[in-house]
A and B are shown apart, each in its own frame.
Chain A
Amino acid sequence: GPKVLQIPSHQIIDMGQMVTLNCDPVSNHLYFYWYKQILGQQMEFLVNFYNGKVMEKSKLFKDQFSVERPDGSYFTLKIQPTALEDSAVYFCASSSSGTVYAEQFFGPGTRLTVL
């Protein structure tokens, strides 16, 4: 089936540094999402993105977070600067439409550790 790729699979950085998480969505999909899962906790919605814009974001999507997809390349999540509480697994997803009925395809996640 369709695959979403995430690069890197693991990232370890020092607090205060910048990090960029990369997502290669399903090729014809137009809607993109990031979710965050802290170890042992629920997966939580961060943001969705369509047509170059953030459509909806949760309270977890702090000012230090930003997303973009320049010229159809990777869909990225940038955190600048990072904080200890940003340590989590970040999952990217994509879908062909933004309706509630559309299946979201998830990548395998990037495990981010902030020291």
Chain B
Amino acid sequence: GDSVTQMQGQVTLSEDDFLFINCTYSTTWYPTLFWYVQYPGEGPQLLLKVTTANNKGISRGFEATYDKGTTSFHLQKASVQESDSAVYYCVLGDNTNTGKLTFGDGTVLTVKP
């Protein structure tokens, strides 16, 4: 079945640092990939999606692309702010159109002022 692995459980940065977090995915289908972000006390919310390999998803200063060859999907931001502190989930969509999402474990990002 589909699976997602996020290697970085926790990332701590200072404001204006560069962010790069990565995940790998496994699916028998052509992947549609998402990054969801979860702030304290809230549910996950869509940050961006990428439907085609090597195309870039962009939202709120974040960028993401996936590589079919290495089955990796990364999220980056040039300059993080304290308000970016949250949990970031790498998510794989089900291309059989059931709407099922497969979540990674999440990366807890802490940005210090």
Contacts and interface: CB of A to CB of B under 8 A. Distances in A.
A51 interface: no
Consensus secondary structure, chain B interface: loop
B104 A108 contact: no
Interface residues of A, number: 29
B44 A106 contact: yes
Contacts, number: 64
Given A33-B101, A35-B101, A108-B42, 7 more contacts: A33-B100, A41-B105, A42-B103, A56-B99, A100-B93, A101-B93, A104-B46
Interface residues of B, number: 23
Interface of B: 32, 41-46, 49, 51, 89, 93-95, 97-106
Contacts of A93: 43
Nearest to A41: B105
A111 B106 CA distance: 18
